[in-house]
Amino acid sequence: MREISPLQKERLNYKPKLAGALADGINNVKLTLGEKTTAVCDKEEIEKLFSHVYGKPIAKFDKVGIDLSNEPKNIGVILSGGQAPGGHNVIAGLFDALKSANSENKLYGFLGGPSGIVDGKYIELTSEIMDKYRNTGGFDIIGSGRTKLETEEQFKKALVVCKNLNIGAIVIIGGDDSNTNACLLAEWMLQNNTGISVIGCPKTIDGDLKNDQIEISFGFDTATKTYAELIGNIQRDANSAKKYWHFIKLMGRSASHVCLEAALQTQPNITLIGEEVEAKKQSLGEIVDYMAQIIAKRGNNGKNFGIALIPEGLIEFIPEMKVMIASLNDLLAGLEKNEAYKNASQEEKYQIITSKLDSQSAKLFNSLPIQIKAQLLMDRDPHGNVQVSKIETEKLLIEMVRKKLDEMKKEGKFQGKFSDQAHFFGYEGRCAMPSNFDADYCYSLGYNAFALVQSGLSGYLSSIKNTTKPASKWVAGGVPLTMMMNMEKRHGEMKPVIKKALVDLNGPVFRALEQNREKWAMNDCYIFPGAIQYFGPSEVCDNTTLTLQLEQENKLVNV
């Protein structure tokens, strides 16, 4: 039996394109530093916490044929947080750059995420190992984890491990929380004169780690195209059978970028955007009414089918739900060590919770179906928040919409039928084989991370800009991690974290949805994107997401 598919075999041989300034080799770039930076907000608090890395200038690399230092240097790499397509190529880019600089350089991969550097679990990554993972999905080359690096004890253990391996730099590949940890580690390493630099790489399929310097987080391109293929398949099925409404929840806990991009690629009948719900202060009942009205109107026109896209984090954007969940987060943080609560039955826990919530939140909590209550009280995520991916929002909406449609039918306002199917697309996209864009982008991010290390920088996030242009015109550089940070409440305490980028309701991406929403609701304007293509015309294989195109062009396109 063959060990890999023919496609994977071909992808292993794909040669990723490098960003312009990096294309001539790691020893032929020049570092240019801009003006000093500041934090996105909470400047005084961030500067106080990160006095050694705060305010650093934006970095940029140019092609000028000036050699960087090529003294032997060992580097450690960590994959942190949830998987995202292209992670292996970040490591491949890092590996190729350090070996190109000096063949004696070594790359150590810490196993199982950040805990690997604390516990001293690692492997040396060699060409033989690396060549088995190029252009593949997943994080299985060294594994990942969600251990937070934030304590003095952890930092000291990590330092011992690094000194034993003669490691001079650590590259952390992760999302906003992982790169917050990278910033904490960079600060500690500088404060203690360890000589070890720390560089981050922007990863998350959610698309919420971005700003003027970070145009897109890696994995977003591949994941949204994967989801769009699945949605397109379901739309074709719905348009064929003409008897089901498909409620599809899409990954994106804190922002609705994935849902918005998937909508632009497929043009469904209903698309909910969490940021819009919050801005309009819509209640759960108002959302249900909106959906029921569209379903009823289509049903009255003989169309008892349709597609509704729902962002994973919707429930936290509903103001009344957000207030209740925030209260629950604080409340449960205090009850974690309460033996009486821990030993109580589920019903008793509900009573304890409602007795401690304010009257409005208690009323809302009691109005929810039992299964939703149970999901709200599940173990928190590592940041102390409700695990919204385990809250079956799509099923909650189906149940409430069905109830509303029954009322409308009794009133003679709905003559159609309502049959439902529920889906949650999440893990299907996290480890997909990366698109050409993500393969190229990630390889450049890793290669660029080594250039930042070679330049003696620390506390930076690898940045590749101008990404809607051909790779030869991409701009390589780095953005200080503190530039993206603010203070947020975690586990009941104010903590420094990288600020998430939410959907801009005044931006061109949301406007593209807004201007087409009514037409897509009543008409079957479905687009069927099909599978990700790797071979063929560039406009098919190398195209970027509509989100990136619209944001960079800052104008509407014909979707």
Pair 524, 239: CB distance under 8 Å? yes
3-class secondary structure, 37: coil
Residue 321 phi/psi, 5-degree rounding, is -75, -40
pLDDT at 79: 98
Pair 468, 552: CB distance under 8 Å? yes
Provide the residue-wise pLDDT of the chain in tens; the chain has 559 residues: 458 899 999 999 999 999 999 999 988 899 999 999 999 999 999 999 999 999 999 999 998 765 556 788 999 999 999 999 999 999 999 999 999 999 999 999 999 999 999 999 999 999 999 999 999 999 999 999 999 999 999 999 999 999 999 999 999 999 999 999 999 999 999 999 999 999 999 999 999 999 988 999 999 999 999 999 999 999 999 999 999 999 999 999 889 999 999 999 999 999 999 999 999 999 999 999 999 999 999 999 999 999 999 999 999 899 999 899 888 888 888 887 788 888 889 888 999 999 999 999 998 888 888 888 888 888 777 666 777 778 899 999 999 999 999 999 999 999 999 999 999 999 999 999 999 999 999 999 999 999 999 999 999 999 999 999 999 999 999 999 999 999 998 777 899 999 999 999 999 999 999 999 999 999 999 999 999 999 999 989 999 999 999 999 864 444 4
The span from the first CA to the last CA of the chain, in angstroms, equals 44
Dihedral sign, CA of 310, 272, 275, 400? negative
pLDDT at 140: 97
Neighbours of 63 (CB within 10 A): 15
Q: Cα separations (Å) of 42 from 54, 484, 506?
A: 12, 11, 24
| Known catalytic membership, residue 206 | yes
Pair 310, 394: CB distance under 8 Å? yes
State the number of CA atoms in the 13 A half-sphere of 405 facing the CB: 25
Q: Which residues contact 468 (CB under 8 A, 6 or more apart)?
A: 544, 548, 549, 552, 553
Pair 92, 447: CB distance under 8 Å? no
3-class secondary structure, 301: coil
Domains of the chain plus CATH, in order, are: 28-205+435-490 (3.40.50.450), 223-428+506-553 (3.40.50.460)
* Beta partners for residue 420, in sequence order: 245
Measured CA angle at 486 (ends 481, 491), to 5 deg: 115
Q: Which residues contact 504 (CB under 8 A, 6 or more apart)?
A: 510
Pair 486, 40: CB distance under 8 Å? yes
Q: Which residues contact 418 (CB under 8 A, 6 or more apart)?
A: 245, 295, 299, 304, 401, 402, 405
- Catalytic site residue from 206, 208, 221, 438: 206
pLDDT at 555: 40
Rounded to whole angstroms, the Cα distance separating 146 from 149 reads: 9
Neighbours of 69 (CB within 10 A): 12
